[in-house]
């Protein structure tokens, strides 16, 4: 789920009607797009998705399980089917959808995915969702400024990184477009760029820690 620059061509799936994502969205729905490797998925991911759905008043949250994180080596990433299964085990709340639509699109970049879904579902009010740890490194995503201008963005607080993320290059670049947390319910209706930082209880699980624990348990 990492973005391409403005010169990239949107995949063929970006043409209205060309993409068959395996789910349906109705015009006017408020839908969160929650992308990542989920390598592996954990309770912290579920906390971010559930917090955003509740606080933003979303109808659906779509977990976009990426084929491969361009910022990491393939040897660091588990098989897609394994990561999909892990995400499905956690996305149990009503309104949660887990999909491999990026693989269907042939897209490894967020900007392509967002534009394709907007073309496929005109009239749907999309919001990009991420944890504060992703905001801290968001400026490393190719074309991150285009994402901010395509859809409103919701950031959910995460332990240890929340303060750093609020002073990240992305947060500073788009500081004047930040909305107060009291505006959460109108974020999906706000013309981008617009973003919000949602504070809440911390969930201390992380994919990195889980991978390290699994390594230690292996014979």
Across all residues in the chain, what is the average pLDDT? 83
Query: What does the pLDDT look like over 181-210, one tens digit per residue?
Result: 999 999 999 999 999 999 866 444 444 443
Phi, psi of 130 (to 5 degrees): -155, 160
For each of the domains in the chain, give its residue range(s) and CATH number, in order of start.
27-217 (3.40.50.620)
Is a pLDDT exceeding 90 seen at residue 166?
no
Q: Residue 198: CA atoms inside 13 Å, Cβ hemisphere, count?
A: 25
Q: Is the pLDDT of residue 19 over 80?
A: no
Given pLDDT bands bounded at 50, 70 and 90, which one contains residue 71? Answer: low
Which has more confidence, 153 or 204? 153
On whether the CB atoms of residues 86 and 44 are closer than 8 A, the answer is no
Q: Which two tokens stand for residue 90?
A: 């956690």
In this prediction the pTM is: 0.83
Q: Element (H or E) spanning 88, and its range?
A: helix 80-90
pLDDT of the residue at 12: 45
Q: What is the average per-residue pLDDT within 159-165?
A: 63
């Amino acid at each position: 789920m990492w973005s391409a620059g403005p010169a990239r061509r949107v995949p063929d799936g970006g043409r209205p009607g060309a993409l068959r994502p395996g789910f349906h969205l109705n015009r006017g729905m408020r839908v969160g797009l929650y992308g990542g490797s989920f390598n592996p998925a954990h309770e912290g991911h579920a906390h971010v998705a559930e917090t955003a759905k509740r606080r933003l008043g979303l109808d659906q949250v779509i977990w976009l399980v990426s084929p491969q994180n361009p910022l990491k080596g393939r040897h660091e990433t588990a098989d897609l089917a394994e990561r999909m299964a892990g995400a499905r085990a956690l996305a149990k709340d009503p309104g949660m959808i887990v999909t491999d639509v990026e693989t269907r699109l042939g897209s490894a970049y967020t900007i392509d995915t967002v534009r394709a879904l907007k073309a496929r579902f005109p009239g749907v009010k999309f919001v990009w969702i991420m944890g504060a740890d992703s905001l801290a490194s968001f400026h490393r995503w190719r074309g991150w400024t285009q994402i901010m201008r395509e859809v409103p963005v919701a950031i959910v607080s995460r332990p240890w990184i929340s303060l750093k993320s609020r002073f990240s290059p992305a947060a500073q670049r788009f500081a004047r477009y930040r909305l107060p947390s009291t505006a959460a319910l109108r974020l999906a209706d706000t013309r981008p760029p617009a973003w919000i930082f949602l504070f809440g209880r911390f969930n201390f699980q992380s994919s990195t820690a889980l991978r390290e624990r699994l390594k230690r348990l292996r014979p």
